[in-house]
Amino acid sequence: MLAAFPTPTHSALEIGPITIHYYALCIITGIAIAIWLGDKRFRAQSSNGQSVVSEVAITAVPIGIVGGRIYHVISSPSAYFGSGGHPLDAFKIWQGGLGIWGAISLGLLGAYLRYRTLQKRMDLPSFAVFADALAPGILFAQAIGRFGNWFNGELFGRPLNSWWALDVPSKYRPFGYSQFESFHPTFLYEAIWCVLVATALIRFGKKLKAGQTFAAYIFAYCVGRFFIELIRIDSANTIAGLRVNVWVSVIVAIGSALIFTRASRKIL
């Protein structure tokens, strides 16, 4: 076997009675960067220089986390309610398991409701402008969050014998793959893809109309996620032989493409 980079041997840091889970730390770090970058971008796009990103985040982030967990539990119910499953584990977010579709859907809804409330007493641009400002930061947050999966030894792909493969301890290998030692680091593929898309949006987003940057973010992420899902081997529900997230990627990509096209017809 060629050299492969290892899965971390520890997923948490213990300081006295305090346990800091690296997965949670990655999520928190990503959220902080998303808020910082979103605030910077929104101030630049707001005519009066105001920013309400932090205030909106207080509402949107918790709702988004709940949404992400709900989607994960619904899409992988056997891990919690099947044979040998433990329903209370559904609340153990630090062990991994946040579905991005649920996080973005409910998080965006929470952000919209809070933003509309603030618009009633403040001179703010449209929510589409606000969402566009957040898009690159959300992608960077997703990239950082994926490293939490690395610490947890989860979400890797098919066996791979290459210098960039991930060495996975036997305790993390799915049933039927115990004889293999290294696998596709799909968490890393997704992190790299998110960074590339975020960079492109920052570079070319100024040429787009309101709402198009966020729609482009969703579409591009779905394209990358589609191919990544095809090589993942963790247990998942399927429809017609394909993982549920493959179908969701296709449906959401089509929807975001339609929104992008519709936004292009708006007069600035």
- How many domains, the chain? 1
Question: Is residue 11 in some structural domain?
Answer: no
Query: Is 115 a residue whose pLDDT tops 60?
Result: yes
Residue 258: the pLDDT is 96
User: For residue range 47-91, what is the model confidence (pLDDT) as tens digits?
Assistant: 665 779 999 999 999 999 999 888 888 877 776 776 766 777 777
107 lies in a domain?
Answer: yes
Q: Tell me what pLDDT residue 98 has.
A: 78
Residue 14 falls inside a structural domain: no
On the question of pLDDT at 202 being above 90, the answer is yes
d(CA 156, CA 153): 8
CA–CA gap between residue 136 and residue 46 (Å, rounded): 17
pLDDT value for 133: 96
Q: Is residue 215 part of a domain?
A: yes
> Does 8 fall in a domain?
no
State residue 213's pLDDT score. 97
- What's the average model confidence in pLDDT over 112-129? 91
Instruction: Examine residue 5 and state whether it is found in any structural domain, yes or no.
Output: no
Which two three-digit tokens encode residue 45? 């796009």
pLDDT of residue 268: 47
Mean pLDDT lowest for which of 31-45, 77-91, 180-194? Answer: 77-91
- Is 25 among the domain residues? yes
| pLDDT tens digit sequence for 141-160 | 999 999 999 999 988 999 99
Mean pLDDT, rounded, for 231-236: 88
Structural domain range at position 245: 19-264
Q: What pLDDT, on the 0 to 100 scale, is given for residue 96?
A: 67
Query: What is the model's pLDDT at position 12?
Result: 87
The tokens describing 128, both together, are 């589409």
Neighbours of 94 (CB within 10 A): 18
- Who has greater pLDDT, 235 or 116? 116
Residue 126 per-residue DSSP state: -
**Percent of the chain residues past pLDDT 90, beyond the cut:** 66
In a domain, 2, yes or no: no
User: What is the reported pLDDT for 136?
Assistant: 97
Average pLDDT over all residues of the chain:
90
The two structure tokens encoding residue 247: 């179908």
